[in-house]
Structure 1
Amino acid sequence: MSTKIVIIEDDFTAIENARSIIHEYFPNIQIEGTADNIESAVNLIQKTQPTIVVFDINLKDGTAFQVIDKLPIVNFQIIWTTAFEHYAVQAFRISAVDFLLKPFKNSDLVRSIQKAMEKINRAEYVKKLEALAHNFSQPEEKKITLHTNEALHIVNLHEIVYCKADDNYTIFMLEQNSTIMVSKSLKNYTSLLKHDHFCRVHQSYLVNLKKIKQFNKGKNAHLTMQNQEEIPVSKGMRNEVMKYFDHLKH
């Protein structure tokens, strides 16, 4: 089966840049066409049945998600491109969806196309798209995708009580005392969730600040979480925790 690409983009310069890169590095891939608005994008995708879509989020008359909503099935891989601000980039990251932040290097698009050409799990991919769309439409109720050996879990951020380091793994403690273990380090999630009311309070703990019930500031400082568990707070992080409580007073 041959690889076919379409480009959904409302910036002519960006379209020509993508065309040039694809022609140079993937001469055997056919570019089936381009579109810059919702209706033409839907028609192009349904007509050509592409393998890969290079998809800008912002179109002339709406967003890429409106295009996806109008399609009966998503049976292609997407290379997202965006010039959005940081809050939107976070939506991509916590949904575990790959994207290119404009302006991107030629090598970045080449790498993304190579990755897209590899076989994927369609069911998992659709779940990621759903989580991404949710995070853009409802930024106050974000979801994160968590991979385990058995499944791909879609979890609301507000369900997470804390995350705990376990060597190179991270254990997510959720409401109702359920847990999910993923094969990524706590450092990865510290960076990922730092703008969503999560704080690294200890070498081994990243907590959801909204789930704190009490901050015990004594010699052995610790947090009492809403599930009654106690989480140690390192000396270096006491001020960060206090900043959060000071903010609540205003």
Structure 2
Amino acid sequence: MISCALIEDDKNTITMLKSIIEENFDAINVIGSASSINAAYELITNTNPTFIFLDVNLEDGDGFEILNKFNSPKFTVIFITSYSKYAVEAFKFSAIDFVLKPFSPSDIIKAVNKVIQEEHKNYLEKITTLYHNHTSGQKKIILSNSDSIHVVSLEDILYAKSDNSYTTFFTIDKREILVSKSLKSFDDQLSSYFFFRIHQKYLINLQHIKKFNKRNDEIVLINDTSLPVSQGKKADLLHLLKSSS
């Protein structure tokens, strides 16, 4: 039997979560709830749940403090949060499931299904990266493929190249990481972090531009890679380069 613990300081949210799980997942047993860090630690230690719902903001502190008490957590986490945008973005970078308040039953069902299917070996990498993104100014991203899980600092990415529904990331240390996600999904995710889509096929890290060749409309990166800039993106790119200089 799969077991679940609810770490949340709002009684109405606990009641709603318990109801949604019991109505939609016969194989999941809700083994208890806790509203504080110490009570949550005791509940998890005593019951060993398969996964937990964890509110980011508890009555006595930060929900991340609970995770920090376990050297190698054997449970998976679904975060519940009404937290600020940067925290939600950190969750996305780490590929951890989260539910944003106010949530619907379908949000909970979708998150639970994803966590049930999560491989534990992958999860430990993701939870470490999540904690790093929450506590550090240096952002990292999880890039997963069939062979490996890569934890990459955003500042180490030179550019990404689209190949239909696949994306290849090129890094400063000469790695090429192929991911089965579209470039558009990464464009949406990284645009707030000084990344810019210069062409239908290319997303670049603006911090690593060496020069822009106006004659042939090409960006040259610090490793001397030349990439084309589309006419539709040229004006916006020049504006960004001038405003950042």
TM-score tier, shorter chain, comes to over 0.9
Q: How many angstroms apart in 2 are the aligned matches of 1:164 and 1:236?
A: 18
Deviation digits for residues 110-154 of structure 1 (CA, Å, limit 9, x no counterpart): 222233333x3222100000111111111x311110112211110
Which 10-residue stretch deviates more, 190-199 or 19-28? 19-28
Q: How many angstroms apart in 2 are the aligned matches of 1:87 and 1:71?
A: 25
User: In the alignment, residue 75 of structure 1 is paired with which amino acid?
Assistant: K
Q: How many angstroms apart in 1 are the aligned matches of 2:95 and 2:114?
A: 14
Q: How many angstroms apart in 2 are the aligned matches of 1:57 and 1:194?
A: 25
Residue 247 of structure 1 corresponds to which residue in structure 2? 243
Displacement of 1:74 after TM fit? 1.0
Q: How many angstroms apart in 1 are the aligned matches of 2:39 and 2:103?
A: 25
Deviation digits for residues 37-67 of structure 1 (CA, Å, limit 9, x no counterpart): 2111111100111112011112122222210
Residue 156 of structure 1 corresponds to which residue in structure 2? 153
Residue 104 of structure 2 corresponds to which residue in structure 1? 105
2:196 is the counterpart of 1:202: no
Question: Which of 172, 184, 206 is the equivalent residue of 2:181?
Answer: 184
Q: How many angstroms apart in 2 are the aligned matches of 1:62 and 1:128?
A: 22
Which 10-residue stretch deviates more, 150-159 or 77-86? 77-86
Residue 67 of structure 1 corresponds to which residue in structure 2? 66
* TM-aligned CA distance change 1:231 to 1:19, over 3 Å: same
Q: Give the 3-state SS of the residue equivalent to 2:90 in structure 1.
A: helix
* TM-aligned CA distance change 1:36 to 1:128, over 3 Å: same
Residue 233 of structure 1 corresponds to which residue in structure 2? 229
Q: Give the 3-state SS of the residue equivalent to 2:192 in structure 1.
A: coil
Structure 1: where are the runs of 5+ without partners? none
Q: Give the 3-state SS of the residue equivalent to 2:30 in structure 1.
A: strand
Residue 7 of structure 2 corresponds to which residue in structure 1? 8
Residue 117 of structure 1 corresponds to which residue in structure 2? 116
Q: Give the 3-state SS of the residue equivalent to 1:176 in structure 2.
A: coil
Residue 86 of structure 2 corresponds to which residue in structure 1? 87
Q: Give the 3-state SS of the residue equivalent to 2:181 in structure 1.
A: coil
2:203 is the counterpart of 1:217: no
Residue 31 of structure 2 corresponds to which residue in structure 1? 32
* TM-aligned CA distance change 1:187 to 1:19, over 3 Å: same
Q: How many angstroms apart in 2 are the aligned matches of 1:20 and 1:63?
A: 25
Displacement of 1:95 after TM fit? 1.0
Which 10-residue stretch deviates more, 227-236 or 28-37? 28-37
User: In the alignment, residue 238 of structure 1 is paired with which amino acid?
Assistant: K
Deviation digits for residues 53-96 of structure 1 (CA, Å, limit 9, x no counterpart): 01111212222221011124311121111112222221111111
* TM-aligned CA distance change 1:176 to 1:72, over 3 Å: closer
2:162 is the counterpart of 1:165: yes
Q: How many angstroms apart in 2 are the aligned matches of 1:61 and 1:216?
A: 56
What TM-score does the superposition give when structure 1 sets the normalisation length? 0.93
Across the aligned residues of Structure 1 and Structure 2, the Cα RMSD in angstroms comes to 1.5
2:167 is the counterpart of 1:174: no
Determine what percentage of the aligned residue pairs are the same residue: 38
Q: How many angstroms apart in 2 are the aligned matches of 1:239 and 1:12?
A: 52
Q: What number of residue pairs does the alignment pair up?
A: 245
Residue 142 of structure 1 corresponds to which residue in structure 2? 139
Which 10-residue stretch deviates more, 74-83 or 28-37? 28-37
Displacement of 1:27 after TM fit? 4.7
Q: How many angstroms apart in 2 are the aligned matches of 1:114 and 1:10?
A: 24
Residue 17 of structure 1 corresponds to which residue in structure 2? 16
